[in-house]
Structure 1
């Protein structure tokens, strides 16, 4: 029954009702009814988990999300991570998270992965990490590619926050499961996965209600004011450099205090 997870599901359903979120699902029949699989999702916003998780619920499944290990620094989040069987990821030492995800898949769970690793400021697909393919092949389970669109209108990087009764439509399209042999060519399979998810994303964008020109949540390619992938990469590199500078400054200060 998983009472904590069930409580979160009820909370999520109440939240989407309060927001007036208008969800549309395509391809729900493609979700495996039993057994483990990797759900590969594009990463557009801070609320990417909500509509896909409730889509899994409609199919009678529950997702075990791979989340930042920093969430464990907050006691209530540490409790939720533990009781929902989420997989904390320490980006400085990702091996433990990878093996935990493989174990979860072998136990018959759905592990949710964002192959882009971080939110895409351009709202276009970034380059993919290979973890989704590698863990699926090692665990002997399929990857289910999926794409969602609309959540970035609520809360994302570089956009105005629209939390509340905004009646934002969010569409989710599930593709067909992909099986990989143990000796899969990981790079080729990851490239193929990205191509399939790009096609799913294009389809879900075409099905989505027309957006106003210049919208901050719309890719430049579609007439929006979001940065191009190149410009987004420049912003991300500057942010990464600043984070590294702050970490180094903090480490130096901690060392000074120890002396």
Structure 2
């Protein structure tokens, strides 16, 4: 079990620098409305599992977490660390490079997540693994990384959903829409009860079931924000021969 750490100690100089760079422009572009904040642990390790439909999602979640007082760590695509300045900031803030499957380089996302959890920190894992392929932006089929990390480390997994981000940067877009100012809603849910799956992380069927429970929780939060019901069947990229090209890992 990871050790607790007071949240105020997480706002280190590097995160204050990043916040100084990111928060003012994001606040100018969009008003953030956070709900369910009481569900986010004030200290100690946990997995945050948000929906994912825009390239700017990590920044949106990062700003939301800054406002709460918990500093997020991401399992990020290794190539991002090769970008000048960006790579240095990612390394300095404790983000973790993860190689994509088939890259020829060895990488262990769960081991990386364990290192973060051991320090009593928050790790953001997008269970969809990439931007959703659902035509209407609903959460698609999830992967097992988020629930496996939570179960292996004995830490909570907090579902989250946001809506309004697509107005700032639509899926697959390359530019940010600045005017008019948007509103981004971020809702944090109660920890997902995975107790029935404790000790079963090597059972693929159990992990698939646990992941479906998590995706249902995320979808329900998303339904509340959108004010409408999700499709009865969750989008499955495998059924549509779609490849995973996301930047932030499962």
Instruction: State if a TM-score over 0.5 links the two structures.
Output: yes
Aligned pair partner of 1:192 in 213, 217, 227: 213
Contact 2:50 2:159 (C-alpha < 8 Å) held by counterparts:
yes
Residue 142 (structure 1) aligned with residue 156 (structure 2): yes
Distance 1:171 1:113 in 2: 19
Aligned residues of 2:71 and 2:122 also touching (Cα < 8 A)? yes
Aligned-partner Cα distance in 2 for 1:69–1:79: 12
User: Whole-Å Cα distance in 1 between the matches of residues 14 and 33 of structure 2?
Assistant: 26
2:33–2:185 Cα contact (<8 Å) kept: yes
Residues 231/2 of structure 1: CA separation in 2 closer, same or farther (3 Å cut): closer
Correspondent of 1:115 among 127, 137, 158: 127
> Residue 11 and residue 159 in structure 1: after superposition, are their counterparts in 2 closer, same or farther (change >3 A)?
closer
Other-structure match for 2:20: 10
Deviation at 1:124, TM superposition (A): 1.3
Over 3 Å counting, the alpha-carbon distance change for 1:115 and 1:206 in structure 2 is same
Q: Please point out which of 162, 165, 185 is paired with 2:179.
A: 165
- Aligned pairs for 1:153-232 (under 5 A) are 153-158=167-172, 161-181=175-195, 182-184=198-200, 185-206=206-227, 229=235
The structure with the largest alpha-carbon Rg is: 1
* Greater RCO structure (CA 8 Å; 6+ sep): 2
| Greater fraction helix | 1
Q: TM-score, normalised by structure 1?
A: 0.76
Structure 1 position 161, deviation (Å):
4.3
Alpha-carbon distance, 1:88 to partner: 1.6
Match of 2:97 in 1: 88
The secondary structure found in structure 1 opposite 2:171 is coil
**Aligned residue pairs, count:** 221
Residues 118 and 36 of structure 1, relative CA distance in 2, 3 Å threshold: same
Aligned partners of 1:61, 1:103: CA distance in 2, in Å? 17
Q: Secondary structure at the match of 1:145?
A: strand
Segments of structure 2 that go 5 or more residues without pairing to the other structure are 1-10, 201-205, 246-250
Q: What is aligned with 1:248? A: none
Aligned-partner Cα distance in 2 for 1:173–1:25: 6
**CA deviation map 1:32-74 (0-9, x unaligned):** 0110000001001011123322222232211101211110221
The residue that corresponds to 1:71 in the other structure is 80
Q: Give 1:78 shift.
A: 1.7
Q: Is the 8 A contact 2:223 2:230 kept in 1?
A: no
Q: What CA deviation, in whole Å up to 9, does each residue of 1:3-22 have, x standing for no partner?
A: 22111112222112332x02
Contact 2:50/2:160, CA 8 A, preserved across alignment: yes
Shift of 1:75: 2.7
CA deviation map 1:73-127 (0-9, x unaligned):
2131221111111122212267422201112112101000111111124211111
